[in-house]
Amino acid sequence: MSQELSLSILSGKGGTGKTTLAVNLALALDNVQLLDADVEEPNDYLFVSPKIGEKEKESVMRLIPEVNDEKCTACRKCVDFCEYNALAMMLDKVLIFEEVCHSCGGCKIVCPENAITEKEKELGKLYHDSLDNLDFWQGELNPGEEKAVPVIEKLKTKIDHDKKVIIDSPPGTTCPTIEAIIDTDFTIVVTEPSTFGLHDLKMVVEMLNNLDQDFAVIINRSESDADYLIEDYCQENGINILLKIPFSRKIAELYSNGNPFVYELEGWEEKFKTLYRDIIEEALNNERNNSN
């Protein structure tokens, strides 16, 4: 392979084990770039760079409209145009709701009086830390902001294909999730053996199939008397399960203290290395099948 593989890690709901997998896998490998794209609540830093807030950062800006009340004739064309109700006309004055604005610039174009200009507003931030063997990036959405996609887009400009790229995606099936996974070679879906876990896994699988995205499943909090929930579903649908991380008090305690368990529990570094080889094999197989 001329480039390293890019991998995204995803789950149907929060709290399933994306961070656990992303961090421990990243730390088990060499020459890795870990990007935390779960920009509404990034937490990989707790395990790899707890002082990320003091590290190198840059702003992610977006444009929002500004109305010159002197020029505005209250024609309402901008309000009627805005699909997202980011503008309202109250007592002949345009109100702007910055949080719901999608920064499309349409209001500025439709204004016949040239009363609308755009100004920059900080939407979020990117943080960066260079560790031994690990290039770590984090996207973060500012409190009160609703649009995560532009932060993830900017984060993706930092991708270095000479490294093993691991993107920790936002959970679920929304636009930010899709933005985080869409350009990666392969996706790992983390799930747990519960009715909720299965329900949310199905949603994610439906999305991935719609996107023609190659993927495999990992079971977190695996328990022998519950795993059949996920195993039966995966078997029926031809989905490979590449790893099980056991439901273990020790792993939970390490997690709650911010310790990646790959460092603490014997055998896991090798398991994650094997997992990565399996992922590459799976990705190559799929590539071959797709080109046939």
Partner 1 sequence: MKLIIPAVGASNFETEIHENFGRANYFAVINCENNEIKFVNNTAANKSSGAGVGAAQLCADQNADAVAAYHFGPKAYEALKAAGIELLDLKEQKLIKEAFNDYQAGNLTEAEAGPGGHF
In the complex, the smallest distance separating the C-beta of residue 146 from partner 1, rounded to whole angstroms, is 7
In the complex, the smallest distance separating the C-beta of residue 63 from partner 1, rounded to whole angstroms, is 17
- What is the 8-class DSSP label of residue 170? P
Of 97 and 196, the one with the shorter C-beta distance to partner 1 is 97
Of 94 and 165, the one with the shorter C-beta distance to partner 1 is 94
What is the C-alpha separation between 102 and 120, in angstroms, rounded?
A: 13
Asked whether position 99 contacts partner 1 by CB under 8 A, the answer is yes
Asked whether position 148 contacts partner 1 by CB under 8 A, the answer is no
Of 1 and 91, the one with the shorter C-beta distance to partner 1 is 91
In the complex, the smallest distance separating the C-beta of residue 22 from partner 1, rounded to whole angstroms, is 24
Backbone angles phi, psi at 192, to 5 degrees: -130, 150
The site string for partner 1 over 215-234 (x = CB under 8 A, - otherwise) reads --------------------
List 120, 146, 183, 232, residue binding partner 1 (CB under 8 A): 146
In the complex, the smallest distance separating the C-beta of residue 74 from partner 1, rounded to whole angstroms, is 12
What is the C-alpha separation between 246 and 267, in angstroms, rounded?
A: 13
Angle at which helices 18-28 and 268-291 pack, to 10 degrees? 100
Contact present, 39 and 152 (Cβ < 8 Å): yes
Of 172 and 193, the one with the shorter C-beta distance to partner 1 is 172
The site string for partner 1 over 58-97 (x = CB under 8 A, - otherwise) reads ---------------------x--xxxxxxxxxx-x-x-x
In the complex, the smallest distance separating the C-beta of residue 83 from partner 1, rounded to whole angstroms, is 8
Asked whether position 100 contacts partner 1 by CB under 8 A, the answer is yes
Q: Is 19 exposed, middle or buried (0-12, 13-18, 19+ CB in 10 A)?
A: buried
In the complex, the smallest distance separating the C-beta of residue 73 from partner 1, rounded to whole angstroms, is 17
Chain CA centroid to CA 208, Å: 14
Of 27 and 82, the one with the shorter C-beta distance to partner 1 is 82
CB within 8 Å of 267: residues ≥ 6 apart:
none
**For the chain, how big is the Rg over CA atoms in Å?**
22
The structure tokens 């093993």 sit at 164
Helix (H, G, I), strand (E, B) or coil at 14: coil
What is the C-alpha separation between 38 and 74, in angstroms, rounded?
A: 40
Of 14 and 128, the one with the shorter C-beta distance to partner 1 is 14
Helix (H, G, I), strand (E, B) or coil at 188: strand
Asked whether position 143 contacts partner 1 by CB under 8 A, the answer is no
Contact present, 21 and 188 (Cβ < 8 Å): yes
In the complex, the smallest distance separating the C-beta of residue 97 from partner 1, rounded to whole angstroms, is 5
What is the C-alpha separation between 233 and 228, in angstroms, rounded?
A: 8
Of 124 and 260, the one with the shorter C-beta distance to partner 1 is 124
CB within 8 Å of 117: residues ≥ 6 apart:
65, 66, 68, 108
Of 109 and 175, the one with the shorter C-beta distance to partner 1 is 175
Give the binding-site size for partner 1 (rule: CB under 8 A).
17
Interaction site with partner 1 (CB under 8 A): 79, 82-91, 93, 95, 97, 99-100, 146
